[in-house]
Structure 1
Amino acid sequence: MTVISLKSAQVNEELTLPYAEAGYPSGTPVVFVHGLGDSWWSFEPLLRRLPPSLHGYAPTQRGHGDAGRPADGYTPDDFAADLVAFLGAAGIPRAVLVAASTGGIPARIVAGSHPDRIAGLVLLGVPGTLADHPAADAWRKSLDGLADPVPRAFVEEFVTGTTAAPLARGFVETMIEEGLKLPAHVWQETGRGLLDADLGATLAGILVPTLVIRGEQDRFLTRDDQRIILDAVHGAEFLPYENTGHAVHWEQPERVVADIAGFAARITRPSHP
């Protein structure tokens, strides 16, 4: 398996983001963007399996894991600005963005606003919208009731509810421990930022090649929800995974890596006149 190196990037005067790097220097740069409650560890199963054609980077977002914890700044636009700054700090001129769950919201903001920096976009179980979502009101209420220390039961339910098949217990424990690092205000402000944002607007202007992957047993996202993305992003491809839940990259890491590698090869292949 590929060796993972742990590094850090100073994205502004007050904020440093740890990140994991793996793969081959000559490979296509791929930047992985995690969702609420996660850290770079969310992509450990993928980083371990990267082929020679890919060079992976997985930053931990502000407020999460071992990253810096600003007092505020937890809207999708804030996370998107950090992502652009990370590309500069890590010396990545252009990359394929691979985003999971709510991490796809800042990722698609960056893809739409900085097409010169983004070669392609892969969305793994990313919501098209949260407006009128059946679980949105319940999610908001659960976030509103959070206080420090954040209960382990809250984080465990958040982690284990994302898959259709059992995962290795050690990996589940790692993701729970990473989720427990978030103070209540980061859970709340990040969640509210997502719920209050116009997610449809974050799809505007995306012209880069886009691949949408959804687990067919995803309890949070329907095919109709994914259709919102496919209708908004011209030429976007859709790839359903049978017998897979929301966190497709946890349940089927080998397949996800293969599909990312195939996508990256197609979009970066030199064109001939």
Structure 2
Amino acid sequence: MAHDRHPQAVRLGTGVTVSYVAQGDGSGVPVVLLHAWGESLGCFDRLLPLLPATIHVVAMDQRGHGQADKPTDGYTLVDLADDVAAFMDAVGLASAVLVGSSSGGYVAQQVAIGSPKRVSGLVLVESPRSLRGRPAFADDVDRLTDPIDRAWVKASLEWFPRFHDIPDWYVEDRVDDGVRMPANVWRKVLTGLCTAVPPTETGTITAPTLIIWGARDELLLRDDQERLAAAIPGSRLIVYHDTGHLVLWEQPERMAGDLTDFVQGLSA
């Protein structure tokens, strides 16, 4: 572990207790960070130190992940989005820029559709336009049993090729994230994501939006990202070359710069 963060806990109006960390000037622009399926707020440990104190950043564990409650049910995309709005209520944020990594960006899109006044901006990092269907690795997930095998989690991270050096401690922390999730949560979150109606098919996102995509991503292809950008009026797509699906893991410095520029541009 290369950090000493001590998350706080808050009980949401949806009945779930989640953990979170916050930093920066409380009067600054609020930014809420949403991690991917199978991860935790710890995935932002390399990004957070790179953000200026003028931004009020809050990273939360989503239900079933990290140190959050792990109920038996409540893992639809709408459930996860409702938790984000309830979390903002609990920590006193009327609106915020939502930054979602991978499936966290799918959740962010749903919040922007369901609670548009709560979202002052969106940064979608390797976020899908649609997750409909059954991914190739779903069979592996269906076979999971408790306790989760650490070797399986480590192997599952190889689904996504890496093109930059990533510290060993960071990868090990992500393995810890996966081991901490019960098998039924692994399955139910994936099912909830893959059976949801894509948010951009149910309404129009009106929040200013930045889309970040790695050109060597084998999971989300450029056509997917261009369709996502086309579905969000006025959005901007930035391509990170020599980067795969794990943009947050591989390019925290560049992502911090682009996020900071985007947030500062909203108040300019």
Is this a same-fold pair by TM over 0.5? yes
Matched residue, 1:107: 108
In the alignment, does 2:140 pair up with 1:142?
yes
Matched residue, 1:217: 216
Q: How far 1:200 moved relative to its partner?
A: 5.2
RMSD: 1.8
Structure 1's unaligned 5+ residue stretches are none
Q: Deviations over 1:216-268 (max 9, x none)?
A: 11121110011121111011100000111112121111111110111111122
Farther-moved stretch of structure 1 (205-214 vs 19-28): 19-28
C-alpha separation in 2, matches of 1:137 and 1:68: 26
The 3 A distance-change label for structure 1 pair 24 and 141 is same
Farther-moved stretch of structure 1 (182-191 vs 147-156): 147-156
Q: 1:96-245 to 2 correspondence within 5 Å? A: 96-131=97-132, 136-162=134-160, 163-199=162-198, 201=200, 204-245=203-244
1:204 and 1:232 in contact (8 A); partners too: no
Q: Deviations over 1:171-228 (max 9, x none)?
A: 1001101111000000000001111112254662200100000011112111001112
Matched residue, 1:259: 258
* Residue type of the alignment partner of 1:138: A
Q: 1:10-29 to 2 correspondence within 5 Å? A: 10-12=11-13, 14-29=15-30
* SS state at 2:50 partner: coil
2:32 and 2:99 in contact (8 A); partners too: yes
Q: How far 1:5 moved relative to its partner?
A: 5.3
The 3 A distance-change label for structure 1 pair 3 and 173 is closer
Matched residue, 2:61: 60
TM-score by length of 2: 0.93
* Residue type of the alignment partner of 2:147: P
Q: 1:85-96 to 2 correspondence within 5 Å? A: 85-96=86-97
Structure 2's unaligned 5+ residue stretches are none
Q: How far 1:44 moved relative to its partner?
A: 1.1
Q: How far 1:139 moved relative to its partner?
A: 2.0
2:206 and 2:233 in contact (8 A); partners too: yes
The 3 A distance-change label for structure 1 pair 242 and 203 is farther
TM-score by length of 1: 0.91
Farther-moved stretch of structure 1 (22-31 vs 166-175): 22-31
C-alpha separation in 1, matches of 2:129 and 2:118: 23
The 3 A distance-change label for structure 1 pair 160 and 41 is farther
Structure 1 outlier segments of 4+, above 4 Å: 2-5, 200-203
Q: For this pair of structures, how many residues does the alignment match? A: 265
* Residue type of the alignment partner of 2:68: A
Q: Deviations over 1:135-165 (max 9, x none)?
A: x442221221111122223211233443322
* Residue type of the alignment partner of 1:107: A
* SS state at 1:116 partner: helix
* Residue type of the alignment partner of 1:142: D
